[in-house]
Amino acid sequence: MAIDRAALAASIDQTLLKPTVGFKAAAEWIEQSSQLGFASLCVSPFLVPVTTQLLSGTSTKVCSVCGFPLGYSMTESKAEEATHLVNLGCQEVDMVMNVAALLESEDAFVKDDIAAVVAAVRDASRGTGLVKVILETGYLSDEQIVRASRIAVAAGADFVKTSTGFGPRGASVEDVRAMRSTVGPDIGVKAAGGIRDLDAALAMIEAGANRIGSSAGIEILAAFDARSGE
């Protein structure tokens, strides 16, 4: 394989965003995931404090979501939510772009919406926090994916991301290729939505993703280990 186990783990945002998972189940999941070398654990906003506590002393970062999953919150609400998340211990914030505004070509509105969250995260984290912008590519044409990616970069985003996992479809290799070719080598590309096995994760990385969002990170690593031992 072209990627080793440590690099694969470090590319995964291990994700827990199910609306039915509470504190007890989350704590067990965090303990199970905390020592595997994932880039981050991406959790529901109310789980950020417990995640911050349980990840203390590890290299795995705390990630959560803003304006999730529909992206149509008021800009001020998104910025306030992002600030609160960082103050609770979040080091990375995945925000949902205002898809409706993009579809109506209100590009200035979309840019300002993203820029407000970027500024909030930068201020609250003293410049260390990362912002990933979820485009929800299932609603977008190829041209709109390119345009949304350019807007996110212009607004200061660190990453563009395919999907919430709650939209009409998840990530595709074609989405990732289009996003990578648009943003260039210096901006992150995160593939998320429907990535549940090793082959899917490796295909996204090959296409240009340097982060994978998946609730199946443990299973993906187990499959890598099994394949490496063949």
**3-class DSSP string for the chain:** CCCCHHHHHCCEEEEECCCCCCHHHHHHHHHHHCCCCCCEEEECHHHHHHHHHHHCCCCCEEEEEECCCCCCCCHHHHHHHHHHHHHHCCCEEEEECCHHHHHCCCHHHHHHHHHHHHHHHHHHHCCCCEEEEECCHHHCCHHHHHHHHHHHHHCCCCEEECCCCCCCCCCCHHHHHHHHHHHCCCCEEEEECCCCCHHHHHHHHHHCCCEEEECCHHHHHHHHHHHHCC
73: Cα separation from own chain's centroid: 18
Query: In the chain, where are the structural domains located?
Result: 5-228
Catalytic residue among 94, 113, 158, 175: 94
**Is there a catalytic annotation at residue 132?**
no
> Percent of the chain, pLDDT > 70?
99
At residue 163's C-alpha, the angle toward residues 197 and 61, to 5°, is 75
Q: What mean pLDDT is predicted for residues 81-109? A: 98
Catalytic residue among 61, 78, 111, 190: 190
Catalytic residue among 78, 132, 161, 175: 161
Q: Is 133:159 a contact under the CB 8 Å cutoff?
A: yes
- Asked if residue 179 has pLDDT above 70, the reply is yes
- Residue 168 identity (one-letter amino acid): P
pLDDT at position 230: 59
**Is there a catalytic annotation at residue 18?**
no
- Asked if residue 56 has pLDDT above 70, the reply is yes
CB atoms within 10 A of CB 214: 28
**Is there a catalytic annotation at residue 94?**
yes
Q: Place 190 in a pLDDT band, splitting at 50, 70 and 90.
A: very high
How far apart CA 101 and CA 56 sit, in angstroms, is 39
pLDDT at position 229: 82
CATH homologous superfamily of 5-228 equals: Aldolase class I (3.20.20.70)
Residue 118: is it exposed, middle or buried by C-beta count within 10 angstroms (0-12/13-18/19+)? Answer: buried
- Asked if residue 1 has pLDDT above 80, the reply is no
- Asked if residue 166 has pLDDT above 80, the reply is yes
